[in-house]
Amino acid sequence: MIVRVRDLRFRYPGGAGDVLDGLDFDISEGEIFGFLGPNGSGKSTTQKVLTRILPSYRGAVKVFDKDLGSLRSDYYNHIGVSFEFPNLYEKLTAEENLEFYRGFFDVPTDEPRELLERFDLPVGDSRRVGAFSKGMKMRLVLARSLINRPKLWFLDEPTTGQDPLHAVQIRDMIRQMADGGTTVFLTTHDMTVADKLCDRVAFINDGTLVVVDTPRALKLQDHQRLVRIEYPADGGTLAREEFHLDDPASKQAFVDAIQTREIETIHTLEPSLEDVFLRVTGRGLS
């Protein structure tokens, strides 16, 4: 097990109550573990505890089979951390940012230029990072978080602000890293990322985990096997019909419709991960 968390509790100094209220979860090697939940539910706080930014937690946390509290600065040689808000040296260039950061590590590091290329960032660009777009800054934070070839990679909202092309590139990169054995702790509000990428997802609500399972298992829970078709009807309108695959008569009507109608669209109506989110947290995304 790469991460093992038991009854994790955390209260901000001066805070009214625990914002993490007894979390339990495990993450195994090479797994992409998604952390989902409403705003303010405790996702970033959990990442900050696991990355030792917030050391005053309660409960038992083991990372790399060692007690988190006993890990010293060498821990940072083995993890990569990308924060939800880009924290870069705005007056330096992208390459200078990476060169500077590289100096903190006692382990082999990747070449800044090669990382910039991987993240589709300009190489040999004299522009300061302060002049970068939001999406570029976020990609630079991601590039920086990989410079020490981490075994455990923390990503807080990595696709925020990315256009669809770059979002796909980032998804592919996360998958490649996991296939290479890197373990990924991924916080996201992007249900497509969670669904397509994560091996398991945990939903947190008010500092408590409500479910942990594969996206597929969560979507198929309480699922009615429904199919919806659309086909052109009289007067240029669009007709829509739904069929229950568990009902033999409805199933036969579906087969008949396929043979007799000019079908334009056909969909199974399993819940999306967003539906699961709304159900298990009782709230919407914001």
Ligand X SMILES: Nc1ncnc2c1ncn2[C@@H]1O[C@H](COP(=O)(O)OP(=O)(O)OP(=O)(O)O)[C@@H](O)[C@H]1O
120 alpha-carbon distance from chain centroid:
20
By CB under 6 A, tell whether 40 contacts ligand X: yes
Query: What CA–CA distance (Å, rounded) separates 49 from 74?
Result: 16
Q: Report how far residue 56's alpha carbon sits from residue 224's, in angstroms, rounded to the nearest whole number.
A: 45
Query: At closest approach, how far in Å is the CB of 156 from ligand X?
Result: 7
Residue 116's contacts (CB-CB under 8 Å, 6 or more residues apart) are 94, 95, 98, 122, 123, 140, 143
| 206-231: burial string, b at 16+ Cβ within 10 Å, e else | bbbbbbbeebeebbeeeeeeebebeb
Q: How far is the CB of 54 from ligand X (least distance, A)?
A: 9
**Binding partner at 19 among ligand X, Mg ion, none, C-beta below 5 to 8 Å by kind:** ligand X
* Minimum distance of ligand X from residue 40's CB (angstroms): 4
- When binding is defined by CB under 6 A, the residue of 2, 3, 8, 45 that contacts ligand X is 45
Q: How far is the CB of 210 from Mg ion (least distance, A)?
A: 17
The nearer residue to ligand X, 22 or 30, going by C-beta atoms, is: 22
* C-alpha–C-alpha distance, residues 213 and 204, integer Å: 12
Q: Which residues are paired to 244 by β-bridges?
A: 226
> What residue 39 binds from ligand X, Mg ion, none (CB within 5 to 8 A, per partner kind)?
ligand X
215 binds ligand X (CB under 6 A): no
Find which of ligand X, Mg ion, none residue 45 binds, CB within 5 to 8 Å per kind: ligand X
Nearer to ligand X, 15 or 284 (CB): 15
Chain residues that interact with Mg ion, rule: CB under 5 A: 43-44, 84
Q: Give the residue with the Cβ less far from ligand X, 23 or 94.
A: 23
Binding site for ligand X (CB under 6 A): 12, 15, 19, 37, 39-45, 84
